[in-house]
A and B are shown apart, each in its own frame.
Chain A
Amino acid sequence: MLSLGSGGAKSTKPSFVSYVTPEEIKSEKDPPKQEKHPDLLPGEVEFCSANPILKYTQDDLSQRGVFGTLFCTNFRVTFISDEKPQEKTDKTFKNKLYGENDIPLMCVDHIYGVYDEKRKLITGGLVKNKYPSKMIIHCKDLRVFQFSLTFSKEEDAKKIFQGIAHHCLEEKSLKCVFAFSYMGTPSPEMQWKQETVMFDSPEDWTQEMKRTKANCRLVTENENFELSQRLPKYFVIPLTIGDLFSYQGKGLPIWCWSHYSGCALFKASFPPVTQEDGDFQKHLDTMINAVAHNHLYSVKTEDLSESLPNIQDIQQSYNKFKQFFLIENSTDFWLSDVKWFSSLESSGWLDIIRQCLQKAVEVVECLEKDNTNVLITEEEGTDLCCVISSLAQIMLDPYYRTLMGFQSLVQKEWVAGCHAFLDRCNHLHQKDKEYHSPVFLLFLECVWQLVHQHSPAFQFSETYLTVLSDSVHVPVFSTFLFNSSHHRESVMKAESPLAQSGPLSCPTVWDWSVQFDSKAQNFFFNPLYLEKVKHDRAVRKPHKPKHQRNLSLPSTAFKTPPKKGFFKDETDSLKKMLRVKRLSRWRGSPDAPTATTREFFESWQHRPLDYHGLLLPCLDGPAVHIWMQRYLRWIPEVYILGGGSVAVMTKLMELLSQVQDLKRVLEQRDSSQAAKLDHRPYFQHRLLSFDSSGRLSSSFPFAYTCYRSFKPIIPTGLMQSLMVTDSLASQEDEASSVVSFV
C-alpha cells in the first residue's frame, strides 16, 4: 500500500525544499492513486517495495529530491517517481534492461546508512537492528543514489532496507543470480553473436591458427575436462609437447597468437619457482624448450607475478581510485578538486595501467623486433597473463582493433581462456576478499588508453568500452558469470533440468540487442575509424603486408625467417647453436631494461604512423589519462554543456552524411549505375539533430541536459584551494613603483 500512516512516528512535513509540497504528500492519504510498478523483465520477480521514498537529486546541496516508490526485485533495485514522467527527450541511448533509476543487484558496490547524521557502511550485522534514515548506494558503474527512508511507514522502510541489504550484500549462491531466472527470448538479431568468434569449438581455434599462420597443435583431450578443470576446453600448444597429463596441465604453454615471422606468444600457469621439486623443474624446462622450438629456438620467459602488481594490489589501488568519483554532493566535489592530481597519484591506479602497457610493449618488442617466442607466466595464468597477452595482440594485430575482432579476443583470452570472472568481480558477495580484483576492468582501462591515443586505429568507440565495463555487472549475460570453461559447462548443464527447454537461455554480452536497439548501437562505432582499403581477396590477411617493413634497429635476431627448403641442414645446425645461447641468455633473465623499450618506442614513433600496423602507446606521465567518460559521466559538476567530444562527433557525423549525400547525387547522375543504387550503404540517420548539439552535455550519451538548467557551475571554497604561503603573494604588483613609464 502506498498510503502514509497518519500520525506515525515519522513526520509528514519535510524539512527541506522539495519538488513536492507537503500538501501533496498529505493528499496521498486519500485512496491511493494508481499504483506504480516497474516493468518487469521476463523472469523478474518483485520482492518488496516502500512508498514514499525520497530520492535526492545529486545536483546541489539544497537537499532537494523526488518522491516515489522504491522496489527491490530479483534483478534490481528500482525507484519509480510519483511524478508524471517528464517529457523525456527522446533518449537515443537507452538501455533496454535497466534505466537511470535502476540498479542491477550485481552493480551495487557499497551501501551506507545514515544513522543520526553518522554515515556507516552497511554490513550484515547492522542490518538486523535498525534501519537508517538515509540510504546511500554506491554502484560499480560509479553512480551514487541517496534515498531518504523517513517518510514511509516504519515497517515498509525496514523491509525495503533489509531487503536491499540482503540481496545486494549477503553472500549468495550462483543460482540466485538473475541470469538463471531471466527468460528473455533470444533476439532475432543475431548478427553480433554470429560474427564474434566464441572459441568454444575446435574449428574456431583451427581458423585462428590459420589466420595467424601458427604452426601449433590443437589439444582436444580436455573436451571433458579430464586433463584439468582450470584449462580451456580446447587450446593450442607448441608442436613438440608430447606429455600433456603430468602436473594437471600446470606449466603447459598455451598458445595465444603468432607473429607473421613465425614466433609466437604463449602463456602458462606457473607456480612461483620457489618449489624445490626437481622433477617439476625438469617438466618446466621441457615446456620452455617446446616453446623455443616453435620458432628459431629462442624464447623469452617473463614471470608476471614478479614484475607486475598482484591482484590484491590492483584491487586496493582501484578501491582508492574509484572513491574520487563517487561524489555525493557539490561540497565533496570541490573539496576533492583541490588535491585532485596528488590524490590520483596516491591511488596508484594510473601507474598500474602504465606498468601493464609497458609490459605489453616489452612483449611486443620481443615478437616484433627480436622475433623471439615469448612465454608469459603467473601462478594461475588467467589474470595478468590475459591482460598482457590481449594488449600485445591489440598492439600487433589490427584485426583485434575492429569491434568483432576485439570481442573475439575477449572470448579467446578471457572467456574461453578461463579468467575467473565470478570470483574476480565478486558477483556473489563472498566475504573472502582475496579473490576479488578488477582485472578485466584494468584491461579495458589499458585498451582505453590506446583508443584515446590512436583513435583512428580502432573501429570501436570509448562508449563501447564504457558500456562493456558496465555490462560486467548486469546479471543477465553468461559471459561474465563463471570461473572457467569447466565451471560454465557444468553449471549450464545442471541449470537446465527441463531437457526439452534446451540449454539455459542466457545470452552472451555480445548480443548487444538485448541492451540496446540498433540506433543506440551506432554509438559503439568510432566514426573516425580509418577502415583499411579492402583487397579483393577471399582470404583475410589482415596484417602481413604492413609488418614487413623493417625496423632499423640493432637486432641480434634474424629478421626474416629462413626460407623453407633452402639450406635445411645448415640452418638446423645453426639452430642448435642458437638454442644454447639463446636459452642461457634469456632464461630467468631480469626485465629487459625499460631503456630499450623507450628506444623501441622512439624508433616506432619516427616512422609514419600506420593505423593498420604496429601500434604503441606513449607512456610518459602526461600521456596517461583518466577515462573521463567512464568515471566522470554521472557528476553534474563536470558536465560541459554544448561541449565535449559530442560536439566533435556531431559535426563529424554531419560531414559524413554530407559526403554520403554528395556521393549519392553523383551516383544518381551516373545513370548507367542507377540499378545498383539501392545496395549502396547509406548513412541514414544522423545520430543527433545538428541544432541540439549545442546544448548537449559532454557526458552524452550517458547523461542529458535535462538534469540541470543551463547555468554555469561556480566552484565553491576557492580560497581553501590555493593558499600561497610564500612572500610573493603579498608583494606589490609593481615591483618598483618608482619606475615611471614614458
Chain B
Amino acid sequence: MFFCVQVYKDPSKGELPLLPEEHVQDSAKDVTYICPFIGPVRGSLSVTNYRLFFRCTDREPVFGLDLPLGVLSRVEKIGAATSRGDVSYGLACKDMRNLRFVHKEPEDSLKKSVFEVLMKFAFPVSNNMSLFAFEYKQVFPENGWKVYDPLAEYKRQGLPNESWRISKVNDHYELCDSYPAALVVPVTITDEELRRVSSFRAKGRIPVLSWIHPESQAAVVRASQPMVGQNGRRCKEDEKLLQAIMDANAQSHKMFIFDARPSVNAAANKMKGGGYESEDAYQNAELVFLDIHNIHVMRESLRKLKEVVYPNIEDSHWLSNLESTHWLEHIKLILAGALRIADKVESGKTSVVVHCSDGWDRTPQLTSLALIMLDSHYRTIRGFQILLEKEWLSFGHRFQQRVGHGDKNHTDADRSPIFLQFIDCVWQMTRQFPAAFEFNEYFLITILDHLYSCLFGTFLCNSEQQRLKEEVPKHTVSLWSFVNSQLEEFVNPLYVGYPSHVLFPTVGIRHLQLWVTYYIRWNPRMRPQEPVHQRYKELLAKRAELQKRVEELQREAANRTASSSSERAGSPTRSITPVQTFV
C-alpha cells in the first residue's frame, strides 16, 4: 500500500521521506494499525503537516501506510479507553478506505495524543491554518499554471470568428462571479444584453460557448437554468441569445436544449424560481431531459459503493450488491447524456445548450465528456488538462465545497463525488477505446489522488475569481507542473490518436465495469495487473533499441566505403519472438 507521490523517498533508510517544507509534528511508537486484510500490525506513526506515515518494520515485507492528510474526511475516537488504556481511532478517507488505529492514551493527561495532533493538521481550514499547498515549494521544470490560456484555446477552435466574439463583460467577475473572465458569445449580442440575460439565469451563469465544431460550426453551449418560476417569466434577451446561437450555425435551423435533470426535478425547480425553457418562448429549440440525479443521490450512491467494496467483498452477492449501489447506472446515465449531446452536434450538425440547475455539476460532466467524444485534442495529456482547467475550474465547479478541502465538517451536504464520477466516465471510455487516449489509467488515478491531497493548488477554491483572490497560482504549485515534468509515467503506450475520430462509447451496463483498480485498490487481492501495457512497453523499448542500432549501422556504413564485412554490430539481439509466424 503506498500513496502515489513519493517525491523524495529514499527506501534504503528507514527515514521519513519529507517534502520541502514538510515537518514532522508528532510521532508515536507502539501504535497498532488494524488492517482489514492482514490483521493488526504494530508500528510507529508519524504526523507531519502534510501526511500520516505509519511504518512497521518487524514484518516481511515491510508494511507502510503513507497518506496525505487531505484524504481524511473524518477522524474520531471509537469507544472509550479500555482497561489497558488503549484507545481506538477511526479515520474515514475520501479515497474509499477507512483506517483504524489503536493507541495507548498518554499517561500524562496534559500531553496530546498523536491523533489530536492529527486532527489539527488534517483539517487546517477548520483550525484557521492554511493548506499545505500554500507551503509546498517544490520547483518543477515546467510551470503547470501556464497550461491553460483561454484565448489560445479559443484560438485553436478558430474563435473569435464572424459569428462569435470574446466578450470582456466578465473581466472583473461582475456579471457572474463563478464564471471565467473570458466568455465567448454570439457577435450579435451586446454586453448590455448579456447583463440582462444574467439576471434571468441562475447565479448569473449565462449561455456561453464551450466548443465549436470545426466544420459544421455547431456549438456546445453551457448555462444554468432559466429563472422561469411558477409564473413562466420570460426574458427577451435570453430568447434572442439562444436564437443568435442557433443562427450562428447555418447548417441547422433547430437547436437542442439538454436539461441534465430528471423532468420532475426540473419542474419542481419552478417552485423556487427556476425551471426550464418553455417551447413557446424558444420556438426552434427542442428540450430534452437527461434524467441525471442530483449531488445528494450521487453522494449516497458512492457511500453505498464504499460499503460494498471496503474492506471485504461478498463474493456470492457481489453483482447484486454492486447493482444496489446504482453507481454504474448513474455512470450510464451521464455517459448516455453526453453521447446524445455529441450525436446531435456531430451527426445532426445542430448546436446544443446544456444546463442543469446551477450549471456547475452535471453540466461540466456532460459538456466535458461530449467534448472528449468530439475532439481528439482533449484525449491527449495536455488537452485533457486544458479541458479540466476550462470546463471544470474556470467555469466554477465548486471543488472546495464538493471535496471539502481541510474542512472537518464531513457531513456537509454540499460534498459530492461529481468530479470522481466524471473521471470514472473517462476511465470507462478509455476501457472501450484503449488506443484513443494518450494518457493511461495511472494519470486518472493521480488526478483523483491529488484532488484530495491538497499538495497542489489546482483543485483548491470554488471559482476562477476565488483562485485569483487567494493568489493560488502565485503561492502554490500546479498539479500539471508535477505531471508534465514526468510525462512518460502517464503515457498510454497503446495510443494511436486518430486525429479526426469521434468516439461514440457504448453506454449499456453490460459494457460498463466497476473501476476496480481505483475503488478496490486497497484490497491486496485485487492487485492490478496490466500485462498488456507492460508487454507493450517492452516492445516499444525493443523497437527503440533496434532503431538506434539501425541508425548506428547506417552511419557506420556511410563512414566506411570499402571494407564491408569485417565489422559487425555485435551479436544479434536476443530473440524476442513473441511473434506467431503461421503463414
- The interface of chain A, by Cβ under 8 A from chain B, is 333-334, 337-342, 344-346, 350-351, 354, 453-456, 518, 521-522, 525, 527-531, 533, 601-602, 605-606, 609, 618-623, 626, 628, 632, 637-645, 647-648, 650-652, 655-656, 658-660, 662-663, 665-667, 669-673, 681-685, 693-694, 698, 710-715, 718-719, 721-722, 724, 726, 728-736, 739, 741-742
Name which of A344, A345, A606 has the most chain B CB atoms within 10 A of its CB. Answer: A345
Measured in the bound complex, the distance between the Cα atoms of B520 and A344 in whole Å is 21
12 additional A-B residue pairs with CB within 8 Å, beyond A618-B525, A659-B579, A684-B583: A339-B323, A341-B323, A522-B580, A528-B578, A639-B506, A642-B498, A656-B578, A683-B580, A694-B498, A711-B504, A722-B326, A735-B412
Where chain A touches its partner, the secondary structure class is: helix
B531 interfacial contact with A, CB 8 Å: yes
Q: Provided the pairs A694-B501, A711-B343, A736-B413 are in contact, do residues A718 and B317 lie with their beta carbons within 8 angstroms? A: no
Q: In the complex, are the beta carbons of A528 and B582 less than 8 A apart?
A: no
List the B residue with the shortest CB-CB distance to A455: B531
B23 interfacial contact with A, CB 8 Å: no
Name which of B506, B514, B539, B573 has the most chain A CB atoms within 10 A of its CB. Answer: B506
Binary CB contact string for chain B from 320 to 346 against chain A (1 if under 8 A, 0 otherwise): 101100101110110010011011000
Q: In the complex, are the beta carbons of B516 and A622 less than 8 A apart?
A: yes
Q: In the complex, are the beta carbons of B265 and A729 less than 8 A apart?
A: yes
CB distance from A213 to the nearest CB of B (A): 28
CB distance from B314 to the nearest CB of A (A): 7
Q: List 5 A-B contacts (CB under 8 A).
A: A533-B575, A622-B318, A643-B436, A712-B343, A714-B336
| Across-interface contacts of B494 in A (CB, < 8 A) | 647-648, 651-652
CB distance from A157 to the nearest CB of B (A): 36
Q: In the complex, are the beta carbons of B320 and A643 less than 8 A apart?
A: no
Q: In the complex, are the beta carbons of A622 and B313 less than 8 A apart?
A: yes
Kindly identify, within residues 524 to 583 of chain B, every residue whose CB is under 8 Å from any CB belonging to chain A: 524-527, 529, 531-532, 535-536, 539-540, 542-543, 546-547, 549-550, 553, 557, 564-565, 568-569, 572-583
Q: In the complex, are the beta carbons of A453 and B320 less than 8 A apart?
A: no
Measured in the bound complex, the distance between the Cα atoms of B550 and A621 in whole Å is 49
Q: In the complex, are the beta carbons of B526 and A618 less than 8 A apart?
A: yes
Name which of A529, A601, A710, A715 has the most chain B CB atoms within 10 A of its CB. Answer: A715
Measured in the bound complex, the distance between the Cα atoms of B528 and A605 in whole Å is 11
Binary CB contact string for chain B from 209 to 241 against chain A (1 if under 8 A, 0 otherwise): 000000000000000000000000000000000
Q: In the complex, are the beta carbons of B414 and A735 less than 8 A apart?
A: yes
Measured in the bound complex, the distance between the Cα atoms of B433 and A640 in whole Å is 8
CB distance from A607 to the nearest CB of B (A): 12
| Across-interface contacts of A525 in B (CB, < 8 A) | 580, 582
Measured in the bound complex, the distance between the Cα atoms of B505 and A641 in whole Å is 8
| Across-interface contacts of B323 in A (CB, < 8 A) | 339-342
CB distance from B574 to the nearest CB of A (A): 8
Kindly identify, within residues 68 to 125 of chain B, every residue whose CB is under 8 Å from any CB belonging to chain A: none
Q: Provided the pairs A453-B529, A528-B532, A733-B358 are in contact, do residues A681 and B579 lie with their beta carbons within 8 angstroms? A: yes
Q: Which candidate, B43-51, B127-135, B461-469, is the interface stretch facing chain A? A: B461-469
CB distance from A528 to the nearest CB of B (A): 5
Q: Provided the pairs A632-B510, A728-B294 are in contact, do residues A742 and B469 lie with their beta carbons within 8 angstroms? A: yes
B197 interfacial contact with A, CB 8 Å: no
Q: In the complex, are the beta carbons of B294 and A341 less than 8 A apart?
A: no
CB distance from B97 to the nearest CB of A (A): 16
B287 interfacial contact with A, CB 8 Å: no
List the A residue with the shortest CB-CB distance to B503: A642
Q: In the complex, are the beta carbons of B507 and A715 less than 8 A apart?
A: yes
Q: In the complex, are the beta carbons of A718 and B333 less than 8 A apart?
A: yes
Interface size on B, residues (CB 8 A): 108
Q: In the complex, are the beta carbons of B358 and A648 less than 8 A apart?
A: no
| Across-interface contacts of A712 in B (CB, < 8 A) | 339-340, 342-343, 347, 504
| Across-interface contacts of B579 in A (CB, < 8 A) | 527, 656, 659-660, 681, 683
Measured in the bound complex, the distance between the Cα atoms of B344 and A714 in whole Å is 11
Kindly identify, within residues 288 to 311 of chain B, every residue whose CB is under 8 Å from any CB belonging to chain A: 291, 293-297, 300, 309
Q: In the complex, are the beta carbons of A681 and B581 less than 8 A apart?
A: yes
| Across-interface contacts of A640 in B (CB, < 8 A) | 432-433, 505-506, 511
List the A residue with the shortest CB-CB distance to B433: A643
B40 interfacial contact with A, CB 8 Å: no
From B294, B339, B582, give the contact of A733 (CB < 8 A). Answer: B294
Q: Provided the pairs A621-B319, A644-B432, A647-B435 are in contact, do residues A719 and B262 lie with their beta carbons within 8 angstroms? A: yes
From A658, A715, A741, give the contact of B462 (CB < 8 A). Answer: A741
Measured in the bound complex, the distance between the Cα atoms of B538 and A655 in whole Å is 11
List the B residue with the shortest CB-CB distance to A623: B526
Q: In the complex, are the beta carbons of A530 and B535 less than 8 A apart?
A: yes
| Across-interface contacts of B469 in A (CB, < 8 A) | 742
| Across-interface contacts of B318 in A (CB, < 8 A) | 345, 620-622
Q: Provided the pairs A529-B578, A648-B494 are in contact, do residues A638 and B326 lie with their beta carbons within 8 angstroms? A: no
B1 interfacial contact with A, CB 8 Å: no
| Across-interface contacts of B265 in A (CB, < 8 A) | 729-730
Q: In the complex, are the beta carbons of A666 and B553 less than 8 A apart?
A: yes
Measured in the bound complex, the distance between the Cα atoms of B315 and A351 in whole Å is 9
Q: In the complex, are the beta carbons of A647 and B433 less than 8 A apart?
A: yes
| Across-interface contacts of A724 in B (CB, < 8 A) | 293, 297, 326
Q: Provided the pairs A456-B531, A533-B575, A715-B332 are in contact, do residues A621 and B313 lie with their beta carbons within 8 angstroms? A: yes
Closest 5 A/B residue pairs (Cβ): A621-B318, A735-B413, A712-B504, A662-B546, A681-B581
B316 interfacial contact with A, CB 8 Å: yes
Q: In the complex, are the beta carbons of B319 and A666 less than 8 A apart?
A: no
| Across-interface contacts of A609 in B (CB, < 8 A) | 529
List the A residue with the shortest CB-CB distance to B429: A643
Q: In the complex, are the beta carbons of B582 and A620 less than 8 A apart?
A: no
Q: In the complex, are the beta carbons of B536 and A655 less than 8 A apart?
A: yes
Q: In the complex, are the beta carbons of B505 and A622 less than 8 A apart?
A: no
Measured in the bound complex, the distance between the Cα atoms of B279 and A127 in whole Å is 55
CB distance from B174 to the nearest CB of A (A): 15
Q: In the complex, are the beta carbons of B466 and A742 less than 8 A apart?
A: yes
| Across-interface contacts of B578 in A (CB, < 8 A) | 527-531, 656
B35 interfacial contact with A, CB 8 Å: no
